[in-house]
Amino acid sequence: MSSERILAANWKMNLTAEASGLLGRGFLDLSKTAKRTKIWIAPSFTAIPALSKILSNSTIALGAQNVHWAESGAFTGEISSSMLAEFGCSFALIGHSERRHILGESDTIVATRAKGALKGGITPLFCIGETLEEREKDLTTQVLRIQLEALISEIPRESAAQVIVAYEPVWAIGTGKVASLDNIRDAHGFIEEFYRSTSGESPRAILYGGSVSPDNFQDILTVPHVHGGLVGGASLSAEKFGALIGISEKS
């Protein structure tokens, strides 16, 4: 089982490069209080060069919110692993629910992105999760299985232990409705077991995402197979993110 603790900030389509730089400097101060917690930031693409400079001698990992599978080519609007690596990015979110449900990225597309990222030396932070309708129809496990199967069938077996999985119930993202501890326990237990039995390896870590806040994070971290959080809204405030780091350090 992973003993890693990762707190990943997903800034989504927020903040100009200048504003991202300011928040990044705030995170830099916060990182000095983090001993066991690894801080990761996924800003917008345009803020990556500025943050790359600001975070260059820090313990904070810089990443992107998506990555294409090809090295280069006719893929208008996309970005490759080497373009991200040029600015020191070490990871990328892949298959975030907003990519799957608003931009229509399929299980196959996101699994192919993960394969390309691994080939390009970028760690996939691979997001999965069910919609409210799927949960109400008792389809959660089935949905997670299909999303993981697509991933595992695409990536090389020897890279399986490098992938980080984020469980993000779609209905909990940005809604203030956090999943119950039982929901999280069941989903993370299933992800760990299914991933290991299918790929032969545990994922590097499994993060929970969906309305993580200083009010609920301590409880979430008590759940088995939760190795940290993927944080949207609360990561746009240095104060709230600092409180999450504080909780992580003590838990």
Element containing residue 113 per DSSP (H, E): helix 107-119
Q: How far is the CB of 26 from ligand PGA (least distance, A)?
A: 18
Q: Are 122 and 84 in contact (CB under 8 A)?
A: yes
Q: How far is the CB of 205 from ligand PGA (least distance, A)?
A: 15
What are the b/e assignments for 127-158, b being 16+ CB within 10 Å? Answer: bbbbbeebbeeeebeebbbebbebbbebbeee
**Binding to ligand PGA by residue 7, rule CB under 6 A?**
no
Tokens of 248: 């992580």
Q: Tally Cβ neighbours within 10 Å of residue 228.
A: 28
Which region holds residue 62: left if phi is over 0, alpha if psi is between -120 and 50, else beta? beta
Cα–Cα distance, 42 to 60 (Å, whole number): 11
**Binding to ligand PGA by residue 231, rule CB under 6 A?**
yes
Of 151 and 199, which CB lies nearer to ligand PGA in the complex structure? Answer: 151
Q: Is 188 a catalytic residue?
A: no
Q: Are 151 and 116 in contact (CB under 8 A)?
A: no
Q: How far is the CB of 174 from ligand PGA (least distance, A)?
A: 4
Q: Is 168 a catalytic residue?
A: yes
Q: How far is the CB of 20 from ligand PGA (least distance, A)?
A: 16
**Binding to ligand PGA by residue 107, rule CB under 6 A?**
no
Match 């260059």 to its residue by tokens: 56
Phi then psi for residue 168, to 5 deg, are -130, 95
* Binder among 43, 203, 209, 228 for ligand PGA (CB under 6 A): 209
Given the rule CB under 6 A, which of 30-38, 55-63, 111-119, 224-232 is the region that contacts ligand PGA?
224-232
Given the rule CB under 6 A, which of 71-79, 82-90, 138-146, 209-217 is the region that contacts ligand PGA?
209-217
Of 170 and 199, which CB lies nearer to ligand PGA in the complex structure? Answer: 170
- Please return the burial class of 9, using the count of CB atoms within 10 Å of its CB with bins 0-12, 13-18 and 19+: buried
**Binding to ligand PGA by residue 10, rule CB under 6 A?**
yes
What residues between 166 and 205 interact with ligand PGA by CB under 6 A?
Answer: 168, 173-174
Q: Per the residue annotation, which of 154, 168, 188, 192 is the catalytic one?
A: 168
Q: How far is the CB of 96 from ligand PGA (least distance, A)?
A: 6
Catalytically active residues, by annotation: 96, 168
**Binding residues for ligand PGA (CB under 6 A):** 10, 168, 173-174, 209-212, 230-234
